[in-house]
Amino acid sequence: MKLLSILACILLSSWVNMTLAHTNEEYQEARFGLHGMLLFSDGVSLYASHLPMFHKPHDVQLITRFELKDKIAQDKLQKSLVSGGTYWTLSPDRFDINFLGLNSVKGIWQFGADLYLGHFERSAKRIFSNQTVIIKEVILKELLDETPQAHVEYIRLTPDNVKRQFYARLIKGRPGVDHLFWVHSSRPLVKRFTMTHDEQRSGNTKIALKLGVKNSDLSTYYEERGDLE
């Protein structure tokens, strides 16, 4: 009986250790944290772009289309975003970004957030508190890739029927750049394009040539390098 009891204790201890190891592994893979986001608008819809870094839990490039439950706040936000000047950001409730916009029972499709004029971690002014953000569409969701790339790639985030067309650079290669720009154009522009690194370093002039638009129709909206070194 003593031998059976000892064997039972050993088996139980092994099972507990295996369970804890599996749980810790899952926890390490999770991306739970405070995931700040950059806000922008094409004049019709609102968009949020996760502010990424090359370490967990922030190593995800995620861009969504969203609405606010408070329609008065939404209208004021959209008018401010399209009028120019300082961009907005949001500071949300903490959550696991792996589940944001996920089509599953664990999927997160709304969350609470404070909205700031400027960067919420850089002396911004809080304008709206405790807003409910409702995710309508996930446009881009990719893990950051540190592998150096031969080319720089941009994708269009906005639909064909808007005149304020936004593009984002895919964050590939370290150090990286979180770069968004918009083009005023009444015709739909290409959905993707690539450039050499030398072309990209030349700035908006080369991008305008790639898109077949005037340089004056193109505006840099956001460019961050420090968080992606």
Task: Profile the chain (229 residues) by mean pLDDT over runs of 10 residues.
Answer: 50 45 48 95 98 92 98 98 92 96 94 97 94 98 92 96 97 91 96 91 89 95 87
CB 228 within 8 Å of CB 193: no
Mean pLDDT of the chain, nearest integer: 88
pLDDT for residue 10:
46
Whole-prediction pTM value? Answer: 0.86
pLDDT at position 21 is: 40
pLDDT at 197: 87
